[in-house]
Structure 1
Amino acid sequence: MRVFSLLVMVFASVTAAGAANTSTCAACHGLKGVSVNPAWPNLAGQGKDYLVKQLLAFKNGERKDPLMGPVAAVLSEADIESIAEYYSKLSGGR
């Protein structure tokens, strides 16, 4: 039971960290990762590894976009991990 409680606490802190870092994302991708515009992809329910890969590609300049490039450039790898974890746990995006 103690292990389960510890896992719940760790997951909650990772999810909270991800949620705290998503205010910029929400402007285009919606508060819960469901896009407000069909031109921007939904993030809710996307795979964590996929989201990490895309954010790193924007951060490193491998993927170009005038909006996402500057946003990703200021994210740390820990931020990227927590944001990807957060959105991967949400439903309703696909």
Structure 2
Amino acid sequence: MNRFLIFAGLLAFTLSAQAADLNTDKQKATSCAACHGATGISDYPAWPNLAEQKEQYLQIQLRAFRDGSRSNPIMNSMIKPLTDTDVENLAAYFANLIRH
């Protein structure tokens, strides 16, 4: 019984921490909305949808823009100041958005 309570407590803590990160990064993602849409669905054919993309794929792409190995003047400058944690959290945020 005690093991179950400990497990349940850890699970609740983990889920609330993840929710906090997603809420924080929703605010950071507002700068992405101009091109990629407020819901992660772009209105412009030249810019990709980010909603429901795979989290690891988004992390790889964001890091490539940040380190300059993928070149786009707008993305490179926007991503440059992000920390690894920011990249991970933004990727998680967009991966968890549901397309409508």
Task: Answer 1 or 2: which has greater helix percent.
Answer: 2
Amino-acid identity (%): 35
Q: Is 1:11 matched with 2:18? A: yes
Mean CA deviation greater in 48-57 or 7-16: 7-16
Residue 90 of structure 1: aligned partner? 97
Aligned-residue Cα RMSD (Å) equals 1.3
Tell me the TM-score normalized by structure 2: 0.86
Structure 1 runs not aligned, ≥5 long: none
Tell me the TM-score normalized by structure 1: 0.91
Displacement of 1:47 in angstroms is 0.6
Structure with bigger gyration radius? 2
Residue 65 of structure 1: aligned partner? 72
**Aligned with 1:33: secondary structure?**
coil
Q: How does 1:31-46 map to 2 (within 5 A)?
A: 31-46=38-53
Structure 2 runs not aligned, ≥5 long: 1-7
The letter of the residue matching 1:66 is P
Q: How many residues align?
A: 93
Displacement of 1:77 in angstroms is 1.2
